[in-house]
């Protein structure tokens, strides 16, 4: 389930579930001069962010980390760089570091659902109350947050809250029918007898 987000730009994963993307765009090049792309290094935070994403997608995690850190040296409040550093740490099994980076993204934008979702995934085992609160915050903000509903259902089922789990699973499948197979069998709609 790691990397699947309820909503938002999964920048490093290369998927987008809604329009929450970087607001800054790279400066347009001068059409009268054709720059040599090989010799021109990215300069703006947006260009560096894109480079880091490309590095991450190419499996160059160390280079991507350095690039996202460079973004932050230029623009300390770049939630996308913090998120991607968290994603890299999470993918390396560095949960504590990932949570710290997601928290930095959330300090900048407390409603940034990708950071909330990935942080909740990390907190499920050791801090289930915090994970539940994050999933609820996501689904309260976005009724189409299918994977957040799914995880919420899983968490509620663990707490033996069958009514709450059933409602969450129903919402998950209503938002994305392809998740039906991920719902535990006891919560799937029963097929009518013939």
- Residue 189's pLDDT is what? 76
Contacts 24+ apart (CB under 8 A), 34-41: none
pLDDT digits (tens, 9 = 90+) for 28-75: 223 334 444 455 676 899 999 999 999 999 999 999 999 999 999 999
Residue ranges of the domains in the chain?
Answer: 9-18+42-181
Fold of the 9-18+42-181 domain: 1.25.40
pLDDT digits (tens, 9 = 90+) for 105-129: 999 999 999 999 999 999 999 999 9
pTM to 2 decimal places: 0.79
Residue 171 corresponds to which tokens in the numbers above? 């919402």
- Residue 13's pLDDT is what? 46
CA distance 84 to 80: 6
For helices 79-91 and 95-108, give the axis angle rounded to 10 degrees: 170
């Amino acid at each position: 389930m790691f990397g699947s987000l309820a909503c938002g730009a999964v920048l490093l994963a290369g998927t987008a579930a809604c329009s929450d993307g970087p607001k800054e765009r790279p400066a347009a090049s001068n059409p009268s001069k054709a720059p040599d792309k090989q010799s021109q290094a990215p300069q703006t935070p947006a260009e560096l962010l894109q480079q880091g994403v490309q590095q991450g997608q190419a499996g160059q995690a160390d280079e991507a980390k350095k690039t996202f850190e460079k973004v932050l040296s230029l623009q300390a409040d770049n939630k996308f760089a913090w998120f991607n550093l968290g994603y890299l740490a999470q993918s390396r099994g560095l949960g504590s570091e990932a949570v710290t980076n997601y928290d930095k993204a959330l300090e900048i934008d407390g409603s940034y659902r990708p950071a909330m979702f990935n942080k909740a995934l990390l907190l499920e085992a050791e801090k289930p109350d915090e994970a539940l609160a994050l999933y609820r915050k996501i689904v309260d903000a976005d009724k189409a947050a299918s994977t957040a509903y799914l995880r919420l259902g899983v968490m509620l089922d663990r707490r033996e809250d069958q009514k709450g789990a059933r409602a969450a699973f129903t919402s998950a499948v209503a938002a994305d029918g392809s998740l039906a197979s991920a719902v535990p069998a006891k919560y799937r709609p029963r097929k009518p007898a013939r």
